[in-house]
Amino acid sequence: MTRLRDRWSGRAAAGVAMAVAGYAVAVWLDMGPQPLPYAVWAVVVLATAYLVINTADVPAAEWQQVPQTMDRVDEASSDLRVLSSHVQSDQPSDALARRLVALARARDPDLGDALWLELADTRRLAPADIDRILTRIEDVRERR
């Protein structure tokens, strides 16, 4: 931490020295610099220069291969596709109901059968009903 503070205090001192020297040269050459705009300009130029200097010595990013786990990534995106098409469709299919029943059966076959009977004639599920069904499925998982 002190090394970083020392490096930045050295950079700040060098920047102030360069800005003062530049202002003195501008006055000496009779360019008529105004102190406030010159100070703002010096801060912007020095900050940009320091950002470039800091990024120049950073090593290139290296990607690490993460071991693939079975976390239902493809299934989750497929579930999201089924859910969004159900919500947006004028004539929804029973795909969401079938997906919910399959999810319930994976957790508890009895719950899957109960949901199958409950959702047999349902075409459109309200968001509250979907939430209620998912909560029932999650409750089975938490009990085990």
Same-domain check for residues 41 and 86:
no
How much is the pLDDT for 7? 73
Is the domain of 116 the same as that of 83?
yes
Residue appearing with tokens 């349902």: 122
- The pLDDT value recorded for residue 4 is 67
Per-residue pLDDT, 64? 81
The pLDDT of residue 3: 74
Cβ neighbors of 72 (< 8 A, separation 6 or more) are none
Q: What is the pTM of this model?
A: 0.43
The reply to whether 134 falls in a domain is yes
Residue 138 lies in a domain: yes
Q: Which residue range forms the structural domain that includes residue 13?
A: 2-56
Q: Are residues 91 and 40 in the same domain?
A: no
Q: What is the mean pLDDT of each run of 10 residues along the chain (144 residues)?
A: 72 87 89 87 89 81 73 60 72 78 85 84 79 83 65
Place of tokens 């089924």: 82
For residues 100 and 81, is the Cβ–Cβ distance under 8 A?
A: no
Are residues 136 and 77 located together in one domain of the fold? yes
pLDDT at 75: 55
Give the count of domains, the chain.
Answer: 2
CB 19 within 8 A of CB 42: yes
Looking from the CA of 126 toward its CB, the CA atoms found within 13 Å total: 3
Where b means 16+ CB within 10 Å and e means fewer, 25-53 reads eeeeeeeebeeeebeeebeeebeeeeeee
Residue at 26: amino acid letter: A
| Closest by Cα among 78, 116, 75 to 97 | 116
Q: Report how far Cα 117 is from the mean position of its chain's Cα atoms.
A: 40
